[in-house]
Amino acid sequence: MTTRMTGPSGDEPRDEGTRYQTEALVETLRAAASHARTDASQTGDPKARALLETSAEVLAGLINAFEQYAEGTGTAWR
């Protein structure tokens, strides 16, 4: 994430601690999603594959929410 983090109104800057925590968590979520996708492609169990693929999609949604928060976009953050 290279965007400037702003407060809820979009004007005031978020504190650097929040920026660090958000960016660190997004990187962790990205790694977990990637791991789930890799494991899904390597398993022969259809139920396990579905679980891992669904997990990766859920994590992608969380990543998107964190990015919208950081950018001050999305209806929830306006």
For 35-54, the pLDDT digits (tens) are 999 999 999 999 999 999 99
More reliable by pLDDT, 60 or 15? 60
Residue 77 lies in a domain: no
Is 37 within a domain?
Answer: yes
Number of independent structural domains in the chain: 1
Residue 66, domain member (yes or no) = yes
Q: Is residue 2 pLDDT above 50, yes or no?
A: no
* Residue 10 maps to a domain: no
Read off the pLDDT of residues 68-77 as tens digits, 9 standing for 90 and up: 888 888 787 7
Q: Is residue 41 part of a domain?
A: yes
Q: Which residue segment(s) compose the domain that 24 sits in?
A: 16-72
Share of the chain above pLDDT 90, in %: 55
Counted residue by residue, the chain has a size of 78
User: What whole-number distance in Å separates Cα of residue 22 and Cα of residue 19?
Assistant: 5
Q: Is residue 56 part of a domain?
A: yes
Q: What is the reported pLDDT for 12?
A: 54
Whether 8 is covered by a domain: the verdict is no
